[in-house]
Amino acid sequence: MLYSLFLHLSDTYSILNVFKFLTVRTGLAMFTSMLVVFLIGTPFIDYFSSHHIHDPIREDGPADHIVKKIGTPTMGGVLILIGLFSGILLWGDLFNPYIWFLIFIVGSFGLLGAYDDYKKIKKKNSSGISSKFKFLWQIILAIIGVLILIYFVDTPDLQKLYFPFFKNLIINLGWFFIPFYIFVIVGSSNAVNLTDGLDGLATVPVILVAGVFAFISYVTGNIVFSEYLLIPYIKGVGEVSVFCGSMIGACIGFLWFNAPPAKIFMGDTGSLALGGSLGGIGIITKHEIVLAITGGLFVLEAVSVIVQVVSYKLTGKRIFKMAPIHHHFEKKGWPESTVVIRFWIISIILAMIGLATLKLR
């Protein structure tokens, strides 16, 4: 909104031309979303606490974990979404189709997560909606999102899969790109959701991945930088950096309240929305594999659950003491803060590897 206003007035007031720069608007979006979350965070938490909107804790989790988490408000993802939308609506180019695709993904997946959180609170257990119902709606929402992308974006790059570390290794997926995109969005959403089990555990990796993709989207949307780095040039995708900036700012603001010991949990409202939007960012920048690298912690958490379930069904034995894998280390006696910080370190390393793929071609 402000971007459109300043753009309209820039012919009269030349100083407003500064807002045409993506870097400026990305920084402003990050600051705006962070400030909004800071300002509304405390009254939001107080309201949720007074109305007993608490997160039901898994009863099979580590004993210390259960004791510490009881009574903590949930649905903090609403805070994140308010901050994110504030940043993107004020500073983003609302005529850009990529922005509306991401707005749809983050908003719809956030609503699905909110419904799941609501059911958990109402039932007073950690079950919420059934996994089949959740998975089905994730697929439906991802399909709608991909159809929006196909309708509004006319580029042959949609069907191509680019591999990092190689200059010319490109696979044309044909129409198979549609189920592939759905897999990336739904898989990313669930992976972040599974990671969100300890104070701040999912928030910092999301910030790191969003930071990497703020840079990737910027250079992908710049014809000079994309040619230099030997990555595909996609017109208009640079605007995604503003969305990433909003996500970073909202998550930083939320981390202020979510840092150990957490005053509020993001819940499925936040984790499904953030994960889905990261998947969306990965596919429109054509860096899906780099997303799997930078978000490797999320992949690890998801794989640990899959391995655990498959092993138990086939052999009756569990590989881990508890899945997702962060609970396995808690069961082994690691303090929560140790698990969280070590997983953050892993995320930092993976983020640096993800950035390195841009140059190592």
3-state secondary structure 242-258: HHHHHHHHHHHHHHHHH
SS3 of residue 285 by DSSP? coil
Amino acid, single-letter form, for residue 17: N
d(CA 260, CA 238): 35
Q: Dihedral (C-alpha) 296, 301, 304, 306: value to the nearest 10 degrees?
A: -100
The tens digit of pLDDT for each residue in 182-233 reads 999 999 999 999 999 888 999 999 999 999 999 999 999 999 999 989 899 9
pLDDT > 60? residue 294 = yes
Amino acid, single-letter form, for residue 270: G
Q: Which residue has better confidence, 71 or 158?
A: 158
Inter-residue contact 355 to 215 (CB < 8 Å): yes
Amino acid, single-letter form, for residue 235: K
Q: Which residue has better confidence, 361 or 258?
A: 258
Inter-residue contact 258 to 103 (CB < 8 Å): no
Range with the largest mean pLDDT of 72-76, 127-131, 152-156, 206-210: 206-210
Work out the percent of the chain whose per-residue pLDDT is above 70: 93
Q: Which residue has better confidence, 108 or 2?
A: 108
pLDDT > 90? residue 283 = yes
Closest by Cα among 81, 265, 299, 111 to 190? 299
- Provide the pLDDT for residue 8: 64
- Provide the pLDDT for residue 33: 97
Mean pLDDT of all residues in 41-59: 78
| Token pair for 285 | 């920048």
Q: Which residue has better confidence, 139 or 170?
A: 139
- Provide the pLDDT for residue 185: 98
d(CA 118, CA 190): 18
pLDDT > 60? residue 63 = no
pLDDT band at 23 (very low <50, low <70, confident <90, very high): very high
pLDDT > 70? residue 358 = yes
- How do strand 170-172 and strand 160-162 relate by DSSP bridges? antiparallel
What is 169-199 written as a DSSP string? -EEE-GGGHHHHHHHHHHHHHHHHHHHTTST
Cα atoms in the Cβ-side hemisphere of radius 13 Å centred on 208: 29
Angle, vertex CA 248, rays to CA 245 and CA 254, nearest 5: 140
Mean pLDDT of all residues in 119-142: 86
- Provide the pLDDT for residue 121: 84
Per-chain mean pLDDT for the chain: 90
